[in-house]
Structure 1
Amino acid sequence: MTSSIVYKGELRTEAEHLHSHRKIETDAPLDNQGKAERFSPSDLVATALGSCMLTIMGIKARDMQVDLEGVQIDIQKHMKSEPRRIGGVDVTFHFPSNLQLDEKQKTILKNAALTCPVAKSIHPEIEQNVVFNW
């Protein structure tokens, strides 16, 4: 098993990663009767996309002996209604100005991000808008 999730009341859950015993909590968003005091489940989906992209890029970068420390991603989730669902995710990469990459390295890292397992698992109707600010 990967995780165990408990409903804590008041539209909140607590998930435990069973291997590490680390925990995360969720809350419903303001526009869906929650307090938005924690990530919502759909926030975690959008955030997982960015985390996966950075992780797979990190693997490729390590193979190329490139240090990606300090790379930041901003995530913007867009919801749709009828039915309520994630309609799109904007992913904006910000690379440190001191990171010197040639075009081949940029292409390899970009392809790694765009083909990460989460990106390939998200339904094709969910738009993934990805910007790389090198």
Structure 2
Amino acid sequence: MNTATARYAGHLRTEATHVASGTLIQTDAPVDNHGRGEAFSPTDLVSAALGSCMMTIMGIVAERHAWDLVGTTWAVTKHMSPEPPRRIAQIDVTFELPAALAPADRTVLERAALTCPVALSLHPDIKQNVVFEYR
């Protein structure tokens, strides 16, 4: 079964539908690459997927240990290569996690995040800077 189906909507926009849920994602080319920047670009989605995957894996570990991560936030910054070919050169992810987590628990969560499937699937030339802050 397909994971997603998609179509080109014109004007550098695409629409992808998640087959199992029917959820729709639209993309737009970024302003610096002939687009309007009115939706996630495909490379924005890759970057957001990294943070979301890391959080999902930490969530799985937290549920196993009954640690409360509700309210955890993260920010992702994508850096494109300044020289051709156009590609993602670096992704920065900063997590803000609960300060109440014990140091040993933090270590377990951080290791889990850094081994998420998206992190392990990205090309090694893409630098992944991940910061864990506890507040």
After superposition, the CA RMSD in angstroms is 0.7
2:56 is the alignment partner of 1:64: no
- TM-score, length basis structure 2: 0.96
Distance (Å, rounded) in 1 between the aligned partners of 2:28 and 2:96: 28
| 3-state SS, counterpart of residue 75 of structure 1 | strand
CA shift, 1:36, in A, is 0.2
CA shift, 1:88, in A, is 0.4
1:46-91 Cα offsets, whole Å, 9 max, x none, are 0000000000000000001011111011000000131000000000
Q: Tell me what 1:87 maps to.
A: 89
| 3-state SS, counterpart of residue 66 of structure 1 | coil
Question: Where in structure 1 are there 5+ consecutive unaligned residues?
Answer: none
Question: Where in structure 2 are there 5+ consecutive unaligned residues?
Answer: none
CA shift, 1:95, in A, is 1.8
Distance (Å, rounded) in 2 between the aligned partners of 1:121 and 1:54: 16
Which residue identity is paired with 1:128? Q
| 3-state SS, counterpart of residue 83 of structure 1 | coil
Which residue identity is paired with 2:74? I
Q: Which runs of structure 2 are paired with 1:112-131 in the superposition (5 Å)?
A: 112-131=112-131
Distance (Å, rounded) in 2 between the aligned partners of 1:133 and 1:100: 12
| 3-state SS, counterpart of residue 85 of structure 2 | coil
CA shift, 1:129, in A, is 0.2
Which residue identity is paired with 1:27? D
1:86-117 Cα offsets, whole Å, 9 max, x none, are 00000000124xx4111110001000100000
- TM-score, length basis structure 1: 0.97
| 3-state SS, counterpart of residue 8 of structure 2 | strand
Distance (Å, rounded) in 2 between the aligned partners of 1:61 and 1:7: 39
Distance (Å, rounded) in 2 between the aligned partners of 1:133 and 1:85: 28
CA shift, 1:2, in A, is 0.2
